[in-house]
Amino acid sequence: MKTLLETQNLCKSFEDIKVLKNINLKVSEGEFIAIMGQSGSGKSTLLYNLSGMDKSSSGNVLFCGKDISMLNDDMMSEVRLKQMGFIFQNSYLLKNLSIRDNIVLPGFKARKLTREQINCNANMLMEKTGILSVADHDIKKVSGGQLQRAAICRALINQPDILFGDEPTGALNSSATREIMDILNTVNREGKTVIIVTHDAKVAARASRVIYLMDGKLHNELKLGKWDISENKKIYREKWLSEWLEKQGF
């Protein structure tokens, strides 16, 4: 598989504190990666550096073969808007706008697709994530799970190459978490590369590879392979990951 994202000796410091230390990571197209590690180990910092939301102190980040650490702010914003999608613990949807308007807005901003394509893509995404019936609702009148589904639709409106999530299920209960992870697994199965940060072993078990950060270093990784939906395999996989995490000191 083609490499989509790569870091070469990526380091990040905040003043004199070294947070990321020589991270060398290659992400292939179609992978689903979960970044795990203890609080403060640098997971969010790594995600923000991978996605150009933050700049490395030294080392390189290559996205689609291009060194994004060399891009200026405007060029980086363009890459983020058109080629990357983001979801966070909170959905950060705009108040006073409907679900649909929130989803199409980055589409019109990017001008990557025609108006027709944006509307059509929004409808398809809302249908797939089960929120078409609340499309024209005010965002204050829907549930947390529905908001997060809308955030996923918004992140995918410009047909990005990769979807990043920083604890995308962190604010959800277990059934909403399952629903969101089912959606992310479907999106990944359809070919989209996904990288998320999570504290939840059940969530990470859905990934094809788990990366464990310790004190800003890439400590270890576990290749799980593609997510299988059969019930027996799910339980086995979760157990396998939990045991491995315990060995890492999680």
- Residue 61: count of CB within 10 angstroms of its CB: 23
Using rule CB under 6 A, residue 7 touches ligand ATP: no
Which among Mg ion, ligand ATP, none contacts residue 144 (Cβ within 5 to 8 A by kind)? none
Using rule CB under 6 A, residue 168 touches ligand ATP: no
Which among ligand ATP, Mg ion, none contacts residue 59 (Cβ within 5 to 8 A by kind)? none
d(CA 71, CA 219): 29
Using rule CB under 6 A, residue 87 touches ligand ATP: no
Using rule CB under 5 A, residue 44 touches Mg ion: yes
If DSSP codes are grouped into helix, strand and coil, which group holds residue 249? Answer: coil
Nearer to Mg ion, 36 or 184 (CB): 36
Give me the least distance between CB of 2 and ligand ATP, in Å please: 28
Give me the least distance between CB of 166 and ligand ATP, in Å please: 8
Of 43-51, 56-64, 138-146, 182-190, which segment contacts ligand ATP by CB under 6 A?
43-51
Sheet holding 17-28, edge to edge: 17-28, 3-14, 58-63, 66-67
For Mg ion, which residue has the nearest CB?
44
Give me the least distance between CB of 234 and Mg ion, in Å please: 26
Of 41-49, 119-127, 143-151, 241-249, which segment contacts ligand ATP by CB under 6 A?
41-49
Give me the least distance between CB of 43 and ligand ATP, in Å please: 4
- Residue 72: count of CB within 10 angstroms of its CB: 7
According to CB under 6 A, which one of 44, 90, 119, 242 is a site residue for ligand ATP?
44
Nearer to ligand ATP, 37 or 168 (CB): 37
**210 bridge partner residues:** 34, 222
Using rule CB under 5 A, residue 248 touches Mg ion: no
Using rule CB under 5 A, residue 89 touches Mg ion: no
Give me the least distance between CB of 204 and ligand ATP, in Å please: 13
Of 39-47, 83-91, 109-117, 146-154, which segment contacts ligand ATP by CB under 6 A?
39-47
- Are 75 and 83 a contacting pair, CB within 8 Å? no
Using rule CB under 5 A, residue 38 touches Mg ion: no
- Are 79 and 201 a contacting pair, CB within 8 Å? no
- Are 248 and 212 a contacting pair, CB within 8 Å? yes
Q: Which residues of 150-164 are buried (b: 16+ CB within 10 A; e: fewer)?
A: bbbbbbbbbebbbbb
Question: 73-83 and 99-110 are packed helices; what angle lies between their axes, rounded to 10 degrees?
Answer: 130
E strands present in the chain: 3-14, 17-28, 32-37, 58-63, 66-67, 84-87, 162-166, 193-197, 209-214, 217-223
Contact positions toward ligand ATP, by CB under 6 A? 14, 19, 37, 39-45
Contact positions toward Mg ion, by CB under 5 A? 44
